[in-house]
Amino acid sequence: MPYAVADGIKLYYESVGDGVPLILHGHHHRWYMPFQIPYFSQFYRVIAFDRRGTGRSDDPPGPWTAGDLAADVSKLMDALHIERAIVGGISLGGVVSSQFGVDYPERTLALVVGHTVPHLWPLAEEWLRQQIAAARGNAPVITRQPRSYDWEEEGPLTTAEGFEGTPIGRYLATLESGFGSQEAVLKMLHVLLEWDQRPHYPELARLTAPALVIVGANEPQKTIELAYEWHHQFKTSEFVILPNTHHNAGTENPLAWNAAVHGFLRRYGL
Percentage with pLDDT > 70 across the chain: 98
Residue 258 has pLDDT above 80, yes or no: yes
The residue extents of the domains of the chain are 3-267
Mean pLDDT lowest among 95-104, 112-121, 135-144: 135-144
- pLDDT value of residue 31: 73
C-alpha distance from residue 236 to each of 98, 184, 212, 230 (Å) = 13, 35, 9, 11
pLDDT band at 46 (very low <50, low <70, confident <90, very high): very high
Largest CA distance in the chain: 51
Residue 146 has pLDDT above 70, yes or no: yes
Amino acid, res. 166: T
Element (H, E) at 238: strand 237-242
**How close are the terminal C-alpha atoms of the chain, in Å?**
29
The model's pTM is: 0.95
Task: Decide if 236 contacts 17 (C-beta within 8 A).
Answer: no
- pLDDT value of residue 29: 59
Higher pLDDT, 181 or 15: 15
- pLDDT value of residue 21: 98
Buried b / exposed e across 151-163, counting CB within 10 Å, b at 16+?
eeeebbbbbbeeb
pLDDT band at 136 (very low <50, low <70, confident <90, very high): very high
What is the C-alpha radius of gyration for the chain, rounded to an integer number of angstroms? 17
The pLDDT tens digits of the residues spanning 185-206 come to: 899 999 999 999 999 999 999 9
In angstroms, the CA 250 to CA 258 distance is 8
Residue 140 has pLDDT above 90, yes or no: no
pLDDT band at 1 (very low <50, low <70, confident <90, very high): low
The pLDDT tens digits of the residues spanning 20-30 come to: 999 998 766 56
Mean pLDDT lowest among 75-89, 138-152, 166-180: 166-180
- CA neighbor of 157 nearest in space, from 95, 240, 244: 244
- The distance of Cα 14 from the centroid of its chain, to the nearest Å, equals 17
- pLDDT value of residue 177: 66
Give the single-character DSSP code of 31.
G
Residue 180 has pLDDT above 80, yes or no: no
CATH number belonging to the domain at 3-267, selected among 3.90.25.10, 3.40.50.1820, 3.40.50.720, 3.30.9.10: 3.40.50.1820
Report residue 198: phi and psi, to 5°: -55, -40
Coil, helix or strand at residue 175: coil
* DSSP letter for each residue of 38-103: HHHTTTSEEEEE--TTSTTS----S---HHHHHHHHHHHHHHTT-S-EEEEEETHHHHHHHHHHHH
pLDDT band at 78 (very low <50, low <70, confident <90, very high): very high
pLDDT band at 229 (very low <50, low <70, confident <90, very high): very high
Element (H, E) at 187: helix 182-193
- pLDDT value of residue 156: 95
Residue 233 has pLDDT above 90, yes or no: yes
- pLDDT value of residue 28: 64
pLDDT band at 262 (very low <50, low <70, confident <90, very high): very high
In angstroms, the CA 256 to CA 263 distance is 10
Phi/psi region, residue 191 (left: phi>0; alpha: psi -120 to 50; beta: rest), is alpha
In angstroms, the CA 157 to CA 161 distance is 7
